[in-house]
Amino acid sequence: MSKPIELSAHDLNGNGGVFCPSPKADMKLWNSHPRVFLDIAKTGKGKCPYCGTVYQLKEGEVVGHGH
């Protein structure tokens, strides 16, 4: 099993998540699986159902809410 991809709060998009495949995971978009949204803000981590890559917030990171 590979190491989780650690994210800062600034790495998350406006909806509190990331898309996989991701350059953060050193993946090339053109040779991977379909694009999947992972809601990281809700639980602090997410796992891609296609490739199994785990994305998680770095320890101590806080996701701000509100618009």
Task: Give residue-wise pLDDT tens across range 4-54.
Answer: 999 999 999 999 999 999 888 887 765 678 999 999 999 999 999 999 999
Q: Which residue's structure tokens are 């650690």?
A: 6
Distance CA 19, CA 39 (A): 9
Q: Determine the structural domain holding residue 43 and report its residue range.
A: 5-57
Residue 62 lies in a domain: no
- Contacts by 30-33, CB closer than 8 A, 24 or more apart: none
Q: Does residue 67 belong to any structural domain of this protein?
A: no
| Domain count along the chain | 1
Instruction: Using a cut of 0.85, tell me whether the model's pTM lies above it.
Output: no
